[in-house]
């Protein structure tokens, strides 16, 4: 595997379900991100992890819960979602701030539909 | 609120022409700028990064940066139908503890054969 991978690629879930999205990066980076992309809106940053520590949470509802067990893996745990949470969820990775290399590389995304 | 503005388009150019995509940003201290290409149904793909005023060329792509005017652009020479996509401008946000990116809404480019 190369680059950034995400599973599943598509997910349909009911409002009472619990599911998790998984992201893995094979680039040797140490910062990882979750973004939400809805139609006709800019990419919205949800969570940032640097060296496995959460450094930013952009006021995301508590029904989204991130987990970063190590610098290569990132999860997004979902529970009691709303239909408006249907979107493309993108994971990205980069080197950390100190390196000055701030280019972010994206995974293929998970297309989430909440019914 | 820091913002990145792009014309949403669609921008339509004939095959072989130069496509010019523009982006303005509100944060004067921004130092790092990126262009991403996103095909329909796919994730964003990094195509250019630029850090200094002036031009940076990579193949058919040229990024131009003018920090005084808070303006960054992307030129695509000899446009091909395969260049048809949405182009996202991204600017580093130095307000947080990590170098987060702020994205524009993107400009949709259509290259007609």
- Two structure tokens written together for A58: 């952009």
Residues contacting residue B28 through CB under 8 Å, at least 6 positions apart = B70
B31 to chain A, closest Cα gap in Å: 11
Integer-rounded Cα Rg, in Å, for chain A is: 13
CB atoms within 10 A of CB A44: 15
A10–B contact, CB cutoff 8 A:
no
DSSP state of A98: G
Which of B55, B112, B113, B109 minimizes the C-alpha distance to B87?
B109
pLDDT above 90 for A50: no
Tokens 């030129």 sit on residue: B75
Model pLDDT for residues A32-48, shown as the tens digit of each residue? 999 999 987 889 999 99
pLDDT above 60 for B97: no
**Looking at beta carbons, which residues of chain A come within 8 Å of B46?**
103-105
Measure the CA–CA gap between B16 and B111, rounded to whole angstroms: 9
Model pLDDT for residues B16-61, shown as the tens digit of each residue? 999 999 999 998 888 889 999 999 999 999 999 999 999 999 999 9
Measure the CA–CA gap between A90 and B43, rounded to whole angstroms: 7
pLDDT above 60 for B107: yes
Q: Each residue of A72-102: b (16+ CB within 10 Å) or e? A: bebbbebeebeeebbbbbbbbbbbbbeeeeb
Model pLDDT for residues B2-18, shown as the tens digit of each residue? 789 998 889 999 999 99
B81: phi then psi, degrees, rounded to nearest 5: -55, -30
The pLDDT assigned to A77 comes to: 97
The pLDDT assigned to B95 comes to: 63
Average pLDDT of span B88-112: 85
A75–B contact, CB cutoff 8 A:
no
3-class SS of residue B81: helix
């Amino acid at each position: 595997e190369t680059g950034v991978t995400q599973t599943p690629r598509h997910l349909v879930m009911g409002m009472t379900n619990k599911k998790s999205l998984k992201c893995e990066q094979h680039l040797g980076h140490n910062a990882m991100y979750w973004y939400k992309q809805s139609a006709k809106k800019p990419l919205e940053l949800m969570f940032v992890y640097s060296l496995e520590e959460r450094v930013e949470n952009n006021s995301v509802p508590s029904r989204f819960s991130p987990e970063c067990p190590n610098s290569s893996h990132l999860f997004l745990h979902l529970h009691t979602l709303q239909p408006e949470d249907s979107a493309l969820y993108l994971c990205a990775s980069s080197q950390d701030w100190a390196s000055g290399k701030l280019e972010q590389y994206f995974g293929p995304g998970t297309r989430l539909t909440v019914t | 609120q820091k913002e990145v503005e792009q014309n949403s388009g669609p921008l339509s150019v004939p095959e072989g022409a130069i496509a010019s995509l523009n982006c303005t940003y509100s944060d004067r201290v921004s130092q790092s700028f990126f262009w991403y290409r996103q095909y329909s149904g796919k994730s964003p793909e990094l195509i250019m990064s630029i850090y200094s005023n002036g031009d940076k060329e990579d193949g058919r792509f040229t990024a131009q940066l003018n920090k005084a005017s808070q303006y960054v652009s992307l030129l695509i020479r000899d446009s091909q139908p395969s260049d048809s996509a949405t182009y996202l401008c991204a600017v580093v946000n130095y307000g947080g503890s990590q170098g987060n990116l702020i994205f524009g809404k993107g400009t949709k480019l259509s290259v007609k054969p």
